[in-house]
Amino acid sequence: MGPDPFAMRAFRILTGVLLIVWLVLPLVPLAIWSFARGWRFPDLLPQEWSLKAWSYALSDTSGVVDSLGLTIGISLGVTVLSILVGVPAGRALGLYQFRGKQAVELMILAPTIVPGIAVALGIHSVFIALGLTNTIPGVMLVHLVPTLPYMVLVMAGIFANFDPSYEAQARSLGAGPVQTFWYITLPAILPGIIVGGMFAFLVSWSQYILTLLIGGGRVVTLPLLLFNFAASGRNDITGAIGMIYILPGLLILLVTARHLSGQNGAAGGFGRL
């Protein structure tokens, strides 16, 4: 394709700038609020600044720090579980053709089509009977419902591009199954694991209604805390918690960013629906 004419370039730059502003914009008032002592209409910036919101958020009473640890723990746990369950399932769907495959695919992807609330109310009564409500394992289990489809989808995409003959070669040369997996399969599917794991973490990280219903208000993850403060109008504390809440996601992004650029088949796995 030839070089951009000037108008086209200007358009691209303008759109780019707008896009940048648009993507960052909603986070700005949250950040400002966290440092404000009251911020009323029509002030563009707070008349008085204060660190009270942050000191409350980081204190023991507010439970924010505990909640942060809890949410990280749950999301990590869910990610690990999703990987352990999703990788084999992705292998099955990516490498093999078999009767009933479409039905299986549909079943595994069903949670992305059926809204969480529809299932959550029913799961709640099942979990009460199983004694899993108000427990951390219960919350982790229920998080698997929305995260598993993404993990399987990504892994199926990766495995579809994976050539199992390399594994066969390694086995024929005398490598054990563990060695084969570690040296042959794993490096090839690692980008998928990272992208799928990231999606799984983020889906679990931002879960609200599932945690609220199954956790029964006893498992207080950060989104619950944030929602409570936002709904009760404490904007300054909401701002502080909001900033804390987006931090881990940001860190994970910095670590895994290059895998999202599209050079591998991972993100493209989404085209398989």
Binding to another protein in span 23-62, by CB under 8 A:
23-30, 33, 36-38, 40-44, 48, 50, 52, 56, 60-62
Does the footprint of another protein cover residue 208 (CB under 8 A)? yes
157 versus 170: smaller Cβ distance to another protein: 157
Does the footprint of another protein cover residue 117 (CB under 8 A)? yes
Site for another protein in 232-251 (CB under 8 A): 232-238, 242, 245-246, 249-250
30 versus 170: smaller Cβ distance to another protein: 30
Question: In the complex, what is the shortest distance from the CB of residue 162 to another protein, in angstroms, rounded to a whole number?
Answer: 14
Return the residue of 10, 107, 186, 255 that touches another protein, per CB under 8 A.
Answer: 107
Does the footprint of another protein cover residue 10 (CB under 8 A)? no
Q: Is 204 exposed, middle or buried (0-12, 13-18, 19+ CB in 10 A)?
A: buried
Is residue 64 within 8 A of residue 220, CB to CB? The reply is no
- Reported as half-sphere exposure (CB side, CA atoms, 13 A), residue 259 has a value of 21
Cα-based distances in Å from 105 to 111, 114, 152, 215, 243: 11, 14, 9, 29, 38
Q: What does the alpha-carbon distance between residue 112 and residue 146 come to, in Å, rounded to a whole number?
A: 7
Question: In the complex, what is the shortest distance from the CB of residue 200 to another protein, in angstroms, rounded to a whole number?
Answer: 13
Q: What does the alpha-carbon distance between residue 209 and residue 221 come to, in Å, rounded to a whole number?
A: 11
Q: What does the alpha-carbon distance between residue 190 and residue 55 come to, in Å, rounded to a whole number?
A: 41
Question: In the complex, what is the shortest distance from the CB of residue 183 to another protein, in angstroms, rounded to a whole number?
Answer: 20
Q: Which stretch binds another protein (CB under 8 A): 72-80, 169-177, 182-190, 261-269?
A: 261-269
Does the footprint of another protein cover residue 158 (CB under 8 A)? no
Residue where the block lists tokens 């960013």: 257
Return the residue of 10, 12, 177, 179 that touches another protein, per CB under 8 A.
Answer: 12
How many other C-beta atoms can be found within 10 angstroms of the C-beta atom of residue 149?
24
Q: Which stretch binds another protein (CB under 8 A): 21-29, 72-80, 166-174, 176-184?
A: 21-29
How many other C-beta atoms can be found within 10 angstroms of the C-beta atom of residue 247?
10
Q: Nearest to residue 138, comparing CAs of 149, 126, 146?
A: 126
Question: In the complex, what is the shortest distance from the CB of residue 7 to another protein, in angstroms, rounded to a whole number?
Answer: 13
84 versus 186: smaller Cβ distance to another protein: 84
